């Protein structure tokens, strides 16, 4: 190991001399500019204003979300679109961005550009997102909610019981909270009778 480092240092110094200090400096500055621009674009696409820049999202799921406790509540803490749908760490964020490229294709082909088309695809779209959240152990939910931080003694008796059972069973948030921010298609969550018209929206009035 002691011989490897000097060799690497010599090679680096030789490359520096061959390339020239100004070229190296130029590459360094170009790298900073590229990385800064890349992050600027990433942050811009992580804003809620970007999420609802297409009418497919703004006129459908965003309007539903505005009637939920995640949008308006007694604590004044709002979870925006990217808080729930975009990972925080770089690797998972890049994977999610790559997956989201399919949404661009959907926009170009007009697959959900009318309310009727959106409703026809609601179950499929919801199932895709539920599966993603299930696979990540509800990672984005846990940015704000965590079993370890819950004081079930101050929760309602039913909520406390369900949270304790879920924790013991190794369940994750999305197993029970599929309809927390958007109207659900008819589906049985296994926590009550199935609502043939879809789950009711959890409104701020029901808080």
Encode the chain (207 residues) as per-residue pLDDT tens digits: 455 556 777 777 777 677 777 777 888 889 899 888 888 888 888 899 999 999 999 999 999 999 999 999 988 999 999 999 999 999 999 999 888 888 888 888 999 999 999 999 999 999 999 999 999 999 999 999 988 888 888 888 999 999 999 989 999 999 999 888 998 887 665 554 444 444 444 444 333
Beta bridge mates, 88: none
Q: How many other CB atoms sit within 10 Å of the CB of residue 143? A: 13
- Find the length of the chain: 207
Beta bridge mates, 68: 203
Please tell me the pTM assigned to this model: 0.72
Beta bridge mates, 203: 68
Cα gap 65→180, rounded to integer Å:
9
* Cβ-Cβ contacts under 8 Å for 30 (sequence gap 6 or more): none
């Amino acid at each position: 190991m002691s011989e490897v480092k000097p060799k690497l240092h010599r090679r680096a110094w030789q490359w520096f001399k061959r390339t020239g200090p100004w070229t190296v400096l130029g590459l360094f500055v170009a790298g900073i500019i590229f990385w800064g621009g890349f992050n600027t674009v990433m942050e811009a696409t992580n804003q809620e204003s970007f999420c609802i820049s297409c009418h497919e999202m703004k006129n459908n799921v965003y309007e539903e979300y505005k009637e939920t406790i995640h949008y308006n509540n007694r604590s004044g803490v709002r979870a925006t679109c990217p808080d729930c749908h975009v990972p925080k760490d770089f690797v998972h964020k890049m994977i999610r961005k790559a997956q989201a490229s399919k949404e661009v294709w959907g926009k170009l082909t007009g697959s959900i550009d009318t309310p009727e088309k959106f409703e026809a695809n609601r179950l499929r779209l919801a199932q895709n997102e539920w599966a993603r959240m299930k696979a990540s152990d509800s990672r984005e939910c846990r940015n704000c909610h965590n079993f370890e931080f819950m004081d079930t003694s101050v929760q309602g008796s039913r909520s406390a019981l369900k949270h304790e059972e879920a924790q013991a069973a190794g369940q994750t948030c999305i197993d029970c909270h599929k309809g927390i921010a958007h109207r659900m298609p008819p589906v049985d969550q296994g926590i009550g009778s199935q609502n043939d018209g879809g789950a009711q929206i959890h409104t701020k009035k029901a808080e």
